[in-house]
Amino acid sequence: MEEPRHKVYLKAFYIDKYEVTIEEYREYIKVKKREWLGNLNYPKEFPQDIYINQAEFDRYPASYIPWFDADDFCKWKGKRLPTEFEWEKAAMGTDGRRWPWGNHYEIGKAHTSENGLGRTAPVGSYPEDKSVYGVYDTAGNVSEWTSSYLLPYPGNTINDGRYTKDVYVLKGGTFQLPGRLQGRPAVRSLSRPDYSHRSYGIRCAKDSD
């Protein structure tokens, strides 16, 4: 799904330095007066209590977020979800590096499955998982929704049946997967917009004035 390599020209944009935190998402819940129980977009294991009153998790990334709510959250903040190409540039810069820090993978530079923690970490906990633009946690922690459908890149003549406007692209490695493969900014993941998972999070973007 990552090929063929091709050039993309983007307009200037802003993107959040960190993944959206539970503290930020908690405020969204209060203002929007969302009713979590019985919401079919959320699984039974959705940690509702954490999003209501457990301040010790404030700096952890918001997760279990379906695309519809990720999109709505960013709009509520006066922003938007980034496209997959904006996200990828923010993570890898303009020199085509394989990971945010360079072209050689080292265990422990990002919050991935090799660390053995089995859960997310507070945003910004891995200072070396930072792009040349100062964007943190793109190789690990949680994957992040984009506004892009999963469609083939220009020049791709191989259709394996997954390309459709029924799913969206997620970018970024997670605490559940190995960073050597899944922590590369080029990797494309996919999911239905109504599906949520403990490794799905948010990072918002905004057009440049």
What is the residue range of 43's domain?
Answer: 13-207
Is 7 part of a structural domain of the chain? no
Give pLDDT, residue 152.
86
* pLDDT-based confidence at residue 50 (cuts at 50, 70, 90): confident
What residues have CB less than 8 Å from 77, skipping those under 6 apart?
A: 204
Structural domain includes residue 117: yes
Q: Is 40 a member of any domain?
A: yes
CATH number at residue 104: 3.90.1580.10
Q: What is the DSSP letter of 47?
A: -
Query: 5 lies in a domain?
Result: no
Residue 188, domain member (yes or no): yes
Is 8 inside a domain boundary?
A: no
* pLDDT(79) > 80: yes
Q: What's the mean pLDDT when you consider all of the chain?
A: 89
Residue in the block written with tokens 């904006």: 86
Indicate whether 1 belongs to any domain: no
Q: What is the pTM of this model?
A: 0.91
Q: Report the domain count for the chain.
A: 1
